[in-house]
């Protein structure tokens, strides 16, 4: 017996309709079970790591974290306002820093009031630390004297806590590293820190800017949380309106909404059960299930109403809904799920989780539709005539007539248009750029994004780029030869406009020399070999008091770090910067004596983007291969595989070309478009070819009649579902995240092109190649029937 035969689906129909109460109870119990898993859901507290755990870049980054701890624990606040330099407001600024120090979540705060002068102590041959500000400042003259002294005599602090050219002041708040990737950080930022900053703004009228990776990540995650409910409501609202417009039935619309809402509940349950984090990607799955689930409802309800209109027998109509649509809907959902499941093979944890939950949820919504819709309709009265009126709407018939005329008389126009679009797309593809920016997808209208730009302008960036130097011996960092090599590398960083002034032990040693020469700023430079021994002897006696030293050198003195902050730059500039740094490192640090590593979150994210592009190309190729194999199994014809793939690959190429022309880069969010759109668009191809195969046999291999019958039969449902998918994915445009907006717009565009390709290009290809593909030898009996043969309807 053939797999998924008519007999199989007849048995399924009997089981469903004879056990309605039991099945509803099982669904209700399963929904309760999945609802009980919701408490396990948690939101992501870290940046997306696109690389596998064992990737070399990840291993180097983790090695850096093991030695120096998480570098993403810095929150910065800044003010660019001359009003700050008044007695009242300057003291308020210092009090704010003192108050922040009292919180358990804060490790330390570095503010102007905390700065220490290195003072040479000749008697004890060491450096003493003397605060710039001992108590609150009482006069405007004292503030002016402090500002003049600090801005003109202490280059070590310039571009760290102030920008002397623009008079911008900032403070650095270091959170405890153990809370950085936990919910404690989120609660502190949202509930305590934000309130404290707003209170200061209200009291002083100063525009305080806030940034830093912990702060950005927290507000970004909060926006994702807020958008989940917005997406779900928007998807429900848009799809239900379109559904009602097509069917003009509150009953059908309400039933469909019940089904997809249960599907969303199951999706959240799957997320909780698997204990996956809710990220910017997994947050898209619930509305995605609504958008994909509604077409299932359309096919089932449309078939039920067609059957009722044909013979008026409710029991037979429900049975035929399952036997005729069940197999086709299963196959289309399997192909869609397969498109998402290919993400599992990318070796990226983020995408693996997205692919797993999405594919399981798609299969779940199929079973819910197949079970709930026939069962609910079995308890309801027959549809009234007004519920069936949409089946004969003139505008739908006009649309089908237009498609038929185009395929009959304008095949050359269709081919030429397709060819022009293909050529244009290839030109556009060559203009696509790749983006590896951590913040590109963040909401550009949000205050925290504007603050990112503020600190980029004032301090050349906030994205930490780290260079770790392994001297391969204990206390090797403080050797003068090492310090000189580090200074040469820092000179290149200073010359790079996309990077901020570097922070390292080199600056401390320069500051120590300045202090040795009684604070004269012209001596802010590395000591000579002759000076080095006695200056460092002063520093060693004072090292217990120099807290900054431990941030740049490990406890053994073998490892040093150079920290710089990077602007949000294009990936091409990032690559150039990396090449320049790597060339300088290779020249300055001989590999036999030093091991130098470039790392940091922006660097890891850039490498992850390239890795993702490579793996998602493989993923898309795998999706195409899987669906081609499915077509081969279904039709057993190589030519049919090619014919079926062309209308689905062309829209992907058109979308890729559009991305090149309008400047949408390839990035983690936009590259998902191709696998998602291909997995969904191929459903229409399957529906059309399955009906075509049935018509071909019923019409004794008369090709033209079979093509146009298939076009009329499936065209309406394909149009309905494509419109729902188009507007459903368009709801993602309401997102404040650029990547989500691009994903929604691009998938919608791709599916629109795919609909036109399947309704115009596919039948045209079948007619043009009819002699080579549409005959008994090529179109053998399939391994299984997707759509059962029509039954005799004389008995009612």
Place of tokens 């003139």: 394
Mean pLDDT of all residues in the chain?
Answer: 81
- Gap between the Cα atoms of 386 and 450, Å rounded: 54
- Gap between the Cα atoms of 613 and 668, Å rounded: 8
The pLDDT of residue 612 is 75
Q: Phi and psi for 18 in degrees, rounded to 5?
A: -90, -15
Q: Is the dihedral of CA 108, 110, 116, 117 positive or negative?
A: positive
C-alpha closest to that of 68 among 542, 556, 588:
556
C-alpha closest to that of 656 among 616, 608, 610:
616
359-376: burial string, b at 16+ Cβ within 10 Å, e else: bbbbbbbbbbbbbbbbbb
Name the DSSP class of 434. Answer: B
Q: Is 767 helix (H, G, I), strand (E, B) or coil?
A: helix
- Gap between the Cα atoms of 162 and 172, Å rounded: 11
Asked if residue 733 lies in contact with residue 235, where contact means CB atoms within 8 angstroms, the answer is no
Helix axes 738-756, 638-662, angle to 10 degrees: 140
The pLDDT of residue 796 is 37
The pLDDT of residue 545 is 45
Which of 215-229, 267-281, 576-590 is the least confident region?
A: 215-229
Asked if residue 103 lies in contact with residue 167, where contact means CB atoms within 8 angstroms, the answer is no
List, in sequence order, every beta strand (DSSP E) within 139-274. 162-163, 168-175, 209-211
What digits encode the pLDDT tens for the residues 183-211?
788 889 988 899 999 999 999 999 999 98
Asked if residue 637 lies in contact with residue 780, where contact means CB atoms within 8 angstroms, the answer is yes
- Gap between the Cα atoms of 291 and 231, Å rounded: 11
- Average pLDDT of 112-119? 78
- Average pLDDT of 731-743? 80
Neighbour count for residue 43 (Cβ, 10 Å): 16
Token pair for 323: 């036997």
Q: Phi and psi for 433 in degrees, rounded to 5?
A: -110, 160
What percentage of the chain reaches a pLDDT higher than 90?
Answer: 11
Neighbour count for residue 657 (Cβ, 10 Å): 22
Q: Is 9 helix (H, G, I), strand (E, B) or coil?
A: helix
C-alpha closest to that of 706 among 694, 714, 716:
694
- Gap between the Cα atoms of 552 and 416, Å rounded: 64
What percentage of the chain reaches a pLDDT higher than 70?
Answer: 89
Which of 377-391, 465-479, 659-673 is the least confident region?
A: 377-391
Tell me: pLDDT of 88 over 70: yes
More confident residue, 66 or 780: 66
C-alpha closest to that of 13 among 547, 788, 592:
788
The pLDDT of residue 46 is 65
The pLDDT of residue 131 is 76
Q: Is 378 exposed, middle or buried (0-12, 13-18, 19+ CB in 10 A)?
A: middle
The pLDDT of residue 791 is 46
Residues whose CB is less than 8 angstroms from the CB of residue 103 and which lie 6 or more positions away in sequence, other chains included: 188, 192
Token pair for 495: 């010359």
Helix axes 213-247, 250-273, angle to 10 degrees: 150
More confident residue, 92 or 614: 92
Residues whose CB is less than 8 angstroms from the CB of residue 532 and which lie 6 or more positions away in sequence, other chains included: 480
The pLDDT of residue 364 is 93
- Average pLDDT of 600-611? 80
Asked if residue 340 lies in contact with residue 362, where contact means CB atoms within 8 angstroms, the answer is yes
What digits encode the pLDDT tens for the residues 412-448?
888 899 899 999 999 988 888 777 666 766 777 778 8
Token pair for 119: 């003072």
Residues whose CB is less than 8 angstroms from the CB of residue 176 and which lie 6 or more positions away in sequence, other chains included: 73, 104, 105, 106, 107
Helix axes 6-18, 20-36, angle to 10 degrees: 80
- Average pLDDT of 346-357? 83
The pLDDT of residue 259 is 92
* β-bridge pairing 106-110 and 116-121: unpaired
- Gap between the Cα atoms of 372 and 174, Å rounded: 54
């Amino acid at each position: 017996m053939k797999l998924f035969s008519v007999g199989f689906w007849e048995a399924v129909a009997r089981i469903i309709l004879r056990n309605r109460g039991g099945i509803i109870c099982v669904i209700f119990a399963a929904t309760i079970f999945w609802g009980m898993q919701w408490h396990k859901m948690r939101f992501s507290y870290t940046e997306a790591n696109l690389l596998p755990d064992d990737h070399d870049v990840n291993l180097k980054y983790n090695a850096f974290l093991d030695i120096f701890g998480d570098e993403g624990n810095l929150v910065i606040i800044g003010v660019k306002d001359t009003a700050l330099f008044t007695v009242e407001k300057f003291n308020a600024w210092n009090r704010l820093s003192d108050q922040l120090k009292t919180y358990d979540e804060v490790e330390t705060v570095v503010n102007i009031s905390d700065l220490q002068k290195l003072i040479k102590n000749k008697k004890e041959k060491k450096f003493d630390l003397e605060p710039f500000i001992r108590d609150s400042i009482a006069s405007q003259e004292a503030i002016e004297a402090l500002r003049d002294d600090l801005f003109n005599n202490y280059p070590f602090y310039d571009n760290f806590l102030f920008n002397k050219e623009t008079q911008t002041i900032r403070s650095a708040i270091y959170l405890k590293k153990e809370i950085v990737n936990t919910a404690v950080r989120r609660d502190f930022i949202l509930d305590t820190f934000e309130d404290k900053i707003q209170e200061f703004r209200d009291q002083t009228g100063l525009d305080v800017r806030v940034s830093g990776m912990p702060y950005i990540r927290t507000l970004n995650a909060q926006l994702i949380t807020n958008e989940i409910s917005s997406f779900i409501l928007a998807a429900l609202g848009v799809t239900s309106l379109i559904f009602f417009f097509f069917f003009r039935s509150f009953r059908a619309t309400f039933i469909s909404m019940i089904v997809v809402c249960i599907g969303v509940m199951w999706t959240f349950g799957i997320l909780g059960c698997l204990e996956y984090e809710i990220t910017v990607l997994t947050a898209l799955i619930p509305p995605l299930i609504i958008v994909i689930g509604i077409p299932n409802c359309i096919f089932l309800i449309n078939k039920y109403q067609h059957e009722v209109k044909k013979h008026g027998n409710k029991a037979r109509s429900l049975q035929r809904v399952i036997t005729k649509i069940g197999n086709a809907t299963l196959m289309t959902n399997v192909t869609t799920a397969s498109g998402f499941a290919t993400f599992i093979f990318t070796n990226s944890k983020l995408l693996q989780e997205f692919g797993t939950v999405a594919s399981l949820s798609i299969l779940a919504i199929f079973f819910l539709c197949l079970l709930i819709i026939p069962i609910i309709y079995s308890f309801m009265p027959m549809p009234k005539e007004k519920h069936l009126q949409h089946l004969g709407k003139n505008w739908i018939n006009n649309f089908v007539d237009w498609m038929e005329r185009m395929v009959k008389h304008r095949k050359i126009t269709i081919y030429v248009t397709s060819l022009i679009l293909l050529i244009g797309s290839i030109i556009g593809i060559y203009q696509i750029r790749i983006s590896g920016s951590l913040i590109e997808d963040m909401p550009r209208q949000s205050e925290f994004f504007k603050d990112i730009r503020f600190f980029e302008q004032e301090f050349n960036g906030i994205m930490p780029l780290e260079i770790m130097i392994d001297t391969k011996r204990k206390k090797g960092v403080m050797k003068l030869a090492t310090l000189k090599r580090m200074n040469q590398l820092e000179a290149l960083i200073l010359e790079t406009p996309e990077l901020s002034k570097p922070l390292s032990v080199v600056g401390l040693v320069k500051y120590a020399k300045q202090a040795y020469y009684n604070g004269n700023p012209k001596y802010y430079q590395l000591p000579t070999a002759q000076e080095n021994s006695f200056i460092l002897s002063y520093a060693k006696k004072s090292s217990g008091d120099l807290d900054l030293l431990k941030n740049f050198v490990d406890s053994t003195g073998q490892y040093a770090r150079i920290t710089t902050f990077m602007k949000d730059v294009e990936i091409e500039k990032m690559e150039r910067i990396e090449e320049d740094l790597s060339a300088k490192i290779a020249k300055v640090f001989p590999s036999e004596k030093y091991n130098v590593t470039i790392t940091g979150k922006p660097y890891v994210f850039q490498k992850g983007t390239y890795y993702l592009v490579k793996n998602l190309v493989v993923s898309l190729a795998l999706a195409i291969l899987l669906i081609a194999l499915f077509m081969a199994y279904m039709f057993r014809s190589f030519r049919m595989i090619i014919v079926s793939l062309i209308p689905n690959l062309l829209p992907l190429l058109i979308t890729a070309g559009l991305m090149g022309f309008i400047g949408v880069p390839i990035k983690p969010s936009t590259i998902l478009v191709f696998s998602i759109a291909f997995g969904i668009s191929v459903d229409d191809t399957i529906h059309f070819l399955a009906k075509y195969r049935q018509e071909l046999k019923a019409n004794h291999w008369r090709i033209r009649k079979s093509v146009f019958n298939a076009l009329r039969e499936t065209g309406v449902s394909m149009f309905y579902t494509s419109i729902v998918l188009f507007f459903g994915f368009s709801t993602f445009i309401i997102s404040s995240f650029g990547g989500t907006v691009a994903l929604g717009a691009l998938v919608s565009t791709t599916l629109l092109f795919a609909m036109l390709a399947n309704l115009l290009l596919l039948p045209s290809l079948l007619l043009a190649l009819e002699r080579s593909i549409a005959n008994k030898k090529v179109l053998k009996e399939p391994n299984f029937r997707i759509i059962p043969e029509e039954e005799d309807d004389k008995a009612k």
